[in-house]
Amino acid sequence: MPVPSVLVCEDYADLSRTAADLVAERLAQKPALNLLAATGNTPMGLYAELVSRRDALDVSRVRVFQLDEYAGVGIEDRRSLLGWLVRSFTAPLGIPEDRIVRLDTAIEPAAACAAFEETLREAGGFDLAILGIGSNGHLGFNEPPSDAGAPTREVTLSAQSVETSAGYWGDAEVPTRALTVGMRELLASREIVLLASGAPKRAIVRRALGGAVTPEVPASFLQEAKRVTAVLDRAAWCGEDEA
């Protein structure tokens, strides 16, 4: 059974550089990369690092796939996760919006999810998925319980995810429904990079990478995925006694 590789970095800046090295290497190997890119706070340092290396990267053929979005929220809404991805990653890297595959919140959710999956299939699947982990063990908005076969779909957010989202948007109202790329599609990615930073993530990282494989911790299915590298900082990995 595959075991995730763990890269332990000194701190968040080191984590961001290490993950950027990995993404840059994959892009150099395959410029027409199908890249799934999460939002959330954790990958922002990676994206900033890639943007700072822009002149050395060929992104002319990359396709970027969105991981999740609040139901009914369009890109013009300040809470849009796609908007966040565009501002932090694709626009400053010069990737045009027509090379972003989105979860279309303007149409009926089931149709949007089916269209996303179809586009993904036609593109040949994800080459690389950049993921964070929720403190409840979710990947994207695959909330517990989510099994390994869960498709791209509309979901109800857990209380924990609503709370995390509230932290992103200040006092703005947080939607409670969302569209997420499914566990099935994520786990089929040819490679996955899981990012986690800070002591609050330590317990869930341990459960995900070393605990029982269970729908109660969706990220634990990464233990069975093809090629997973967890890029963590020391705080997310070691206890005080182990540091």
218 binds ligand PGA (CB under 6 A): no
Nearer to ligand PGA, 116 or 141 (CB): 141
> Could you give the C-alpha distances from 126 to 72, 123, 209, 218, in angstroms and in order?
25, 8, 21, 19
Q: How far is the CB of 155 from ligand PGA (least distance, A)?
A: 13
What would the two tokens of residue 60 be? 């002319």
Which residue, judged by CB position, is nearest to ligand PGA in the bound state?
Answer: 40
The set of long-range contacts for 220-224, using a CB threshold of 8 Å and a minimum separation of 24, is 220/137, 221/147, 221/148, 221/183, 221/187, 222/4, 222/139, 222/187, 222/192, 222/194, 223/1, 223/2, 223/3, 223/4, 224/1, 224/2, 224/148, 224/187
The residues assigned a catalytic role are: 68, 136, 138, 143
Select the span of 10-18, 37-45, 82-90, 112-120 touching ligand PGA (CB under 6 A): 37-45
134 binds ligand PGA (CB under 6 A): yes
Report the alpha-carbon angle 147-113-117, nearest 5.
80
45 binds ligand PGA (CB under 6 A): no
Q: How far is the CB of 42 from ligand PGA (least distance, A)?
A: 3
Q: How far is the CB of 110 from ligand PGA (least distance, A)?
A: 23
158 binds ligand PGA (CB under 6 A): no
List interacting residues with ligand PGA (CB under 6 A).
40-42, 132-134, 138, 164
